[in-house]
Amino acid sequence: MLIALLACAVETEDAPWLVDTEPYVDGEVLVRVTGDDVAQMRVEEDHGVAEVERYDGIAVVKVGFEEERPVREVLDALTADVRVQFVEPNHLVRALGSPVNDPYVGYQWNLDAIGAPAAWSTSTGKGVTVAVIDTGVRPGGPDGITTLLPGYDYFNGDSNPTDGNGHGTFVAGTIAQKTGNGKGVAGIAPNAQILPVKVMGDDGAGDIAAIANGLVYATDSGARVVNLSLGSAYPSNTLESACRYAYDRGVTVVAASGNEYATSLSYPARYDSVIAVGSVGFGGSRAGYSNRGTGLDLVAPGGDLSKDENGDGYADGILQETIEGGAWTYTFWEGTSMAAPHVSAAAALLISAGASGPDEVYQLLTSTARDGGSAGYDTSYGHGRVDVAAALTALRSGGGSSGSTGSGEEPEMDSSGADTQAPTIRDVSGYTQGRKFTLQWVTDEPATTWVNFQDYGRYGDDVLTTAHALSLNGSRGRTYTFTLVSSDAAGNTAESSAYSISL
């Protein structure tokens, strides 16, 4: 179980605590004893516990005791017994990241198609702002967006970006619908923040000037990802400049390829600074309406309302909460507008997990995509269908390039051209499991992984990666104070402030 870093200070150390709040079953523990059944029986008698169930293949026994008796008390007593190889709580577990209580999630075939449930055990988009530049976003709803920021309306020139069309609300829900709340449907990056930027009216039409304004506003407001489920057949220097403005400042810009059955992409999807996304249906084949052509980067589920390939009784569109005719509803839509937010949400998951900017996001998504059509890159599927779980795995293994720094700036160099900027350590968290504790953090560039204990020195490794995790065994009842240390390939070293953990 992940444990939040608390702001309180330790009495003897100026360091926040990582508190053990692990969930487990009361009245029982799992134990392995050295010796035969007689030794097992004597240990149980000595500690006032009794066998509940035996797992012969692994020589583990579940023992029970009065539920009023603290589990920690039993763990401490058995841990101190030299006849016990190990003892641990019977931890409660859940299907990692699975929104099992969202009643309509079974109709969201698109989630499995991009590996979203598998990705949620690693990232949910926390800390990443995604700008939805669209018809606005309607607040509220029976299900709703997890975090909806204030935003702006460049279509009407005011600060009320409320959606009267439904398109922007649908797109925002695909990215960050509330998930696991027992209502409606799920989103792909449910803990990302949505910044609504209204650039089109309730009829779904807008102009280049408003979109360009929206791109600059989103960038300057801290968005790390921008979704553009919109397009035009005509190029625009103004719009291209706005996309480049965002990209140069570390923003991942994603756009729909268009729905004209054409052999060329719409703008802005066609620009080099933008990830262009086409649409596939349930079976993975390109949707007939989806524009293809040079510059197509990826495909993602956009749906096909003419088919029911999965046999669930509904046309194979993308299901989301939105408004139709002014009323809230759950509905199936199709289009590259529905495909693009899958990639925007995938980018948010990667950035939250440590990807440093648009270049690394692009490299991770394209290198791990599931190939479609002709072998390798082609103009109908691009690099393939996005697989965010595979992309996160590549990120954890150091498979991404350093790419952009995320701020649009190059690493600091001295007069000889050498990198002199240390990596940034952020998003520190941790969890405990019995006597083992795991620490996690990310850096804005590939760096090594070390924990520097106040009493024991450094433990870690020299693998260069942006997503860091280190597991160590400790002693129950002890408090450990430490800093986190990461060094980049050039030897520049960053060290965090002090933290403490108590077992």
Q: Which CATH architecture has domain 1-23+410-503?
A: Sandwich (2.60)
Instruction: Give the separation between CA 13 and CA 234, rounded to whole angstroms.
Output: 62
Q: What percent of the chain has pLDDT over 70?
A: 87
The reported pLDDT for the residue numbered 5 is 26
Residue 26 gets which letter from DSSP? E
The two three-digit tokens of residue 180, written as one number: 């696991």
Model pLDDT, residue 453: 85
Q: Provide the H-helix boundaries in 199-357.
A: 208-220, 237-248, 336-352
pLDDT tier at 92, thresholds 50, 70, 90: low
Tell me which of 172 and 503 has the higher pLDDT: 172
pLDDT of residue 474: 76
Q: Pseudo-torsion of CA 319, 325, 326, 332, nearest 10°?
A: 0
Peptide bond between residue 268 and the one before it cis (omega within 30 degrees of 0): yes
Could you please report the per-residue DSSP string of 160-196? ----SSSHHHHHHHHHHB--SSSSS---SSTTSEEEE
474: tokens are 């400790």
Whole-angstrom Cα distance, residue 178 to residue 184? 9
Render pLDDT for 39-80 as a digit per residue (tens, 0 to 9).
Answer: 999 999 999 999 998 888 788 999 999 988 988 899 999 999
Q: What is the 3-state secondary structure (H, E, C) of 270-305?
A: CCCCEEEEEEECCCCCECCCCCCCCCCCEEEECCEC
Query: What is the pLDDT, as a whole number, of residue 176?
Result: 97
For 253, other C-beta atoms within 10 Å of its C-beta total 29
Q: Is the pLDDT of residue 222 over 70?
A: yes
Pick one of 3.40.50.300, 3.30.720.210, 3.30.70.80, 1.10.10.10 as the CATH number of 25-91: 3.30.70.80
The average pLDDT across 343-366 equals: 96
DSSP 421: P
Backbone phi, psi, residue 226, to 5°: -125, 130
Q: Is the pLDDT of residue 81 over 80?
A: yes
What share of the chain in percent tops pLDDT 90? Answer: 63
Nearest to 286 by CA among 339, 331, 337: 339
Residue with tokens 């020299």: 462
Cβ within 8 Å of residue 52, ≥6 positions away: 28, 61, 62, 63, 64
Among 342, 318, 338, 360, smallest CA distance to 176 is for 342
As a dihedral over the C-alpha atoms of residue 414, residue 418, residue 420, residue 425, rounded to 10 degrees, the angle is 150
**Residue 442: pLDDT above 90?**
no
Distance from C-alpha of 133 to C-alpha of 154, rounded to nearest angstrom: 10
At residue 440, the pLDDT reads 78
- Catalytic positions: 134, 167, 337
Please say whether the beta carbons of 140 and 131 come within 8 A.
no
Residues 6+ apart with CB under 8 A from 471: 436, 437, 438, 439
DSSP letter at 107 equals G
What pairs with residue 295 in β-bridges? none
Q: Which residue has the higher pLDDT, 400 or 159?
A: 159
Q: Is the pLDDT of residue 311 over 60?
A: yes
d(CA 71, CA 431): 18
3-class SS of residue 142: coil
Q: What is the pLDDT of residue 503?
A: 66
Domain boundaries, the chain: 1-23+410-503, 25-91, 108-396
pLDDT mean over 8-21: 35
Counting DSSP H helices and E strands in the chain, the numbers are 10, 21
pLDDT at 449 (0 to 100): 86
pLDDT at 299 over 80: yes
Taking all residues of the chain, what is their mean pLDDT, rounded to a whole number? 86
pLDDT at 194 exceeding the cut of 60: yes
Looking at residue 240, what is its pLDDT? 94
Enter the CATH code of domain 108-396.
Answer: 3.40.50.200
- What pLDDT score was predicted for residue 7? 24
Q: What is the pLDDT of residue 438?
A: 76
Residue 18 has pLDDT above 50, yes or no: no
> Mean pLDDT, to the nearest integer, of 271-282?
97
> Among all chains, which residue has been given the structure tokens 């620009």?
271
- What is the predicted pLDDT for the residue at 439? 81
